[in-house]
């Protein structure tokens, strides 16, 4: 409630699952640009697929984010997306199986493992809010989780300080479960407006709270501003999973988080419309 960031360990996601997803990410970003552009996000109805360097701008005061990304959402074991995700409906875009055999399986295995972990965490947030432990259960039946593979080249020498790995921003969903490699880059903004390093700790995930949880709790839970700047001299990989509530759920302040002194700060909106509008702001696709 003060920091909005924490680490978890003994999280139950197998090291091999993480290692396979990382290996898949490395193989993907090493593909020729044309192969990656074949599944460019501009070809997707709902912001899935590949984002090139500077294709996204998380902080409107900056000139673009110096990362490459690859985004997917939920799909079933036959590879079909849900048809009823409202504003966020649409299929994943995958690289060619011949070119990258095993990629899809490795990424989906990681996705499903971290979604299961995320489901275990909702009851903890509910209890912290003095709500029944299963409060979020019927709001997270159809995992509205977005997984991103991220690749950050190192920025060395003189750099434009308006180009960062990912500019200062808050995340849109309830919470983000981030795997990061051993290259330091991630920073969170504390209450004194100082940047604090979220130093990589092997065997852990960093979890940060996002705007959906802040909207639900009328800012009792903090959605903390963060950014990543890789000036390490080596490339960095990270894999965030943004776990939101089902896209058809209306986000509105919980009665226990509203009072005469603390009036509701946010207009109710469905999770799908909210996420879509926030993602659209960071891309130049005009969607
Ligand atoms: O790569 C990281 O450490 C952070 C990524 C991030 O903040 C995001 O994708 O929203
Ligand atoms: Fe983020």
The model's pLDDT over 154-180, given as tens digits with 9 standing for 90+, comes to 999 888 889 999 999 999 999 999 999
Q: Which residue has the tokens 């360097």?
A: 53
Q: Is 215 in the pocket of ligand 1 (CB under 6 A)?
A: no
Give the domain range for residue 141.
5-286
Cβ count near 236 (within 10 Å): 23
Q: Is 229 in the pocket of ligand 1 (CB under 6 A)?
A: no
| Nearest bound ligand to the CA of residue 237 | 1
The ligand 1 atom at the shortest distance from the C-alpha of residue 148 is 9
Residue 116 CA, ligand 1 centroid: distance in Å = 20
From 22, 177, 201, 238, mutation site for ligand 1 pocket: most ligand atoms within 8 A of C-beta = 238
pLDDT along the chain (287 residues), means of 10: 95 98 98 97 94 94 95 93 87 96 98 97 95 95 94 91 94 97 97 96 98 96 96 97 95 94 95 92 63
Q: Is 67 in the pocket of ligand 1 (CB under 6 A)?
A: no
43-238-242 Cα angle (round to 5) = 65
Q: Is 150 in the pocket of ligand 1 (CB under 6 A)?
A: yes
The ligand 1 atom at the shortest distance from the C-alpha of residue 69 is 9
CATH number of the domain to which 261 belongs: 2.60.120.330
The ligand 1 atom at the shortest distance from the C-alpha of residue 171 is 10
Q: Residue 286: what pLDDT? A: 37
Q: Residue 157: what pLDDT? A: 84
The ligand 1 atom at the shortest distance from the C-alpha of residue 208 is 7
Q: Is 180 in the pocket of ligand 1 (CB under 6 A)?
A: yes
Q: Which residues pair with 63 in a beta bridge?
A: none
Residue 138 CA, ligand 1 centroid: distance in Å = 28
pLDDT in tens, 240-280: 999 999 999 999 999 999 999 999 999 999 999 999 999 98
Residue 44 CA, ligand 2 centroid: distance in Å = 21
The ligand 1 atom at the shortest distance from the C-alpha of residue 67 is 1
141-144-145 Cα angle (round to 5) = 120
Which residues are within 8 A (CB) of 71 and not within 5 positions of it... i.e. 6 or more apart? Answer: 41, 47, 48, 49, 51, 146, 147, 148
**What is the total count of domains within the chain?**
1
Question: Is 104 in contact with 20 (CB distance < 8 Å)?
Answer: no
CA–chain centroid gap for 187, Å, is 15
Q: Residue 287: what pLDDT? A: 34
Residue 77 CA, ligand 1 centroid: distance in Å = 27
Q: Residue 284: what pLDDT? A: 67
């Amino acid at each position: 409630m003060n920091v909005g960031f924490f680490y978890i360990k003994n999280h139950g996601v197998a090291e091999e699952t993480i290692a396979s997803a990382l290996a898949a990410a490395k193989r993907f970003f090493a593909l020729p640009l044309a192969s990656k552009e074949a599944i460019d996000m501009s070809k997707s109805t709902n912001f899935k697929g590949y984002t090139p360097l500077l294709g996204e701008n998380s902080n409107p005061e900056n000139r673009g984010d110096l990362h490459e990304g690859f985004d997917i959402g939920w799909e079933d074991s036959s590879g079909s997306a849900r048809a009823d995700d409202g504003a966020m409906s649409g299929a994943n875009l995958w690289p060619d199986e011949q070119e990258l055999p095993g990629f899809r399986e490795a990424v989906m295995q990681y996705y499903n493992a971290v979604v299961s972990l995320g489901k275990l965490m909702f009851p903890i947030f509910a209890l912290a809010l003095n709500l029944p432990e299963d409060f979020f259960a019927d709001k997270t039946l159809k995992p509205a989780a977005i997984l991103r593979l991220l690749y950050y080249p190192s920025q060395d020498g003189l750099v434009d300080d308006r180009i960062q790995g990912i500019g200062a921003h808050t995340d849109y969903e309830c919470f983000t479960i981030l795997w990061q490699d051993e290259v330091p880059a991630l920073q969170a903004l504390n209450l004194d407006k100082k940047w604090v390093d979220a130093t990589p700790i092997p065997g852990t995930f960093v979890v940060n709270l996002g705007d959906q949880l802040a909207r639900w709790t009328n800012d009792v839970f903090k959605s903390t501003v963060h950014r990543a700047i890789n000036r390490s001299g080596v490339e960095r990989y990270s894999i965030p999973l943004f776990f939101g509530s089902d896209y058809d759920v209306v986000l509105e302040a919980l009665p226990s988080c509203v009072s005469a002194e603390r009036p509701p700060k946010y207009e109710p909106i469905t999770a799908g419309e909210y996420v879509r509008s926030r993602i659209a702001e960071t891309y130049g696709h005009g969607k």
